Amino acid sequence: MVTVTGHAYPWDVIGDLSFPDRVRELGLTGVTLAASYHSTRAATPLHPRHQLVDARWAALYRPVRDSVWAPHRLRPGAAEWMTEADPFGVAADALRRAGVPVTAWIVLTHSTRLGSAHPDLAVTNCFGERYPYALCPANPQVRDYAATLTAEAVRDVPVDAVSLEACGQLGLAHLGHHEKTDDAWTANAARLLSICCCQGCQSAWRERGLDPGEVVDRLRADVHAEAARGSDPSPTPLTDPMAGHLLATRHAATDALRTQVLAALREVLPDAPVTLHANPDPWATGPSPGLTPTAAADVDALLVPAWPTGPAGAEIVTRAARTGRPVDAYVTVLPPAAPDALADHVRRLRGAGATRFSLYHLGLAPAWRQRLFVEIVKAVHDD
């Protein structure tokens, strides 16, 4: 059976008694609800009490307990813009009491607040420029933070499943501030500028026999060569030996992060199915990091990005399906999706091997886009 769920924030549910009924009327089989999330300024066009929520920093939408976080260098912010002490718990309870299954949506290494306060733990490019929104999992403190965050997100809250976002390294791209970087770099340059050169990564390079100074100089030269080369709509493989070592370093940190996060989760929810936000491109960074050779075997399903309504989404699904794990296609009804192309897009994704669909976003979509959820559900179940 193909399932179709929708993403939401706690503030979409709290204070809107009609929300569970709307989920059922749309034909969805559950809600993926944010338990920890990065900063956002979110529209709430259908909510009866507000139209906008300004979530000013990455927050844990559960009580932030001093007894747990005191020993840690990294500590999540509390959701001070919410009146409830336990927003995720309140929203999850409301949905499950209404018969709507809940998946806990946990965002791990994406926190501008923490990266700014602890710059030595942030992803750093070959020019020494830090990405404060991105915590680098090569650092043990980041892995400890992510594991504790995961356990605290679902502690004492009955949920049906867990979805892990940013369970790996973020890179150059970041949809934040008033972004003024579109089309500034070729696809290969963006990939090179997403290779982390923080002290934790450099220590791992030394263990592989690489000289950090030589690596940084080579990366900088390659970035400048890309600038001279000009337009490049898609990246070409980085296949030289140095690139192989750099990718292996990133993957080792990603595997260590995932292992620690899953161990912490199993202490609290030993049987909950886990979906991993992932990309079959091993060099991918961001909310859906590149799959490592062992990642798929550790989880129950892979959620892959399929937002643009072109052929690239079907290709990603096809590649992810080769792992043998169920593939959850992540589809949005918001831009960049073309509304009149969504139904055909979903059919292509189904044909490419998607057996689950996750829709973005129940709270952000205005009334006229809500009908697109119904069209998607119908297209998913078309023979």
What is the secondary structure of 236-292 as a DSSP string? Answer: PP--SHHHHHHHHHHHHHHHHHHHHHHHHHHHH-TT--EEEE-BSSTT--SSSPBPP
Token reading at 70:
């005191």
Q: Which long-range contacts (CB under 8 A, 24 or more apart) does 199-204 make?
A: 199/120, 200/121, 200/136, 200/138, 200/139, 200/253, 201/136, 201/138, 201/249, 201/250, 201/253, 203/138, 204/138, 204/249, 204/252, 204/253
Residues 6+ apart with CB under 8 A from 62: 35, 36, 86, 87, 88, 89, 152, 153, 155, 157
Does the pLDDT of residue 383 top 80, yes or no?
Answer: no
pLDDT band at residue 237 under the 50/70/90 scheme = low
Question: Computed from CA positions of residues 281, 283, 284, 289, in that sequence, does the dihedral angle turn out positive or negative?
Answer: positive
Q: pLDDT of 81-121, one tens digit each?
A: 999 999 999 999 999 999 999 999 999 999 999 999 999 99
Contact status, residue 9 vs residue 81, Cβ threshold 8 Å: no
Which tokens is 155 given?
A: 């502690």
Tokens of 348: 């292509």
Tokens of 354: 């998607």
pTM confidence score: 0.96
Question: Residue 109: what residue type?
Answer: T
284-329 per-position pLDDT tens digit: 999 999 999 999 999 999 999 999 998 999 999 999 999 999 999 9
Q: What is the pLDDT of residues 13-45, one digit of tens each?
A: 999 999 999 999 999 999 999 999 999 999 999
Cα end-to-end span (Å), the chain: 13
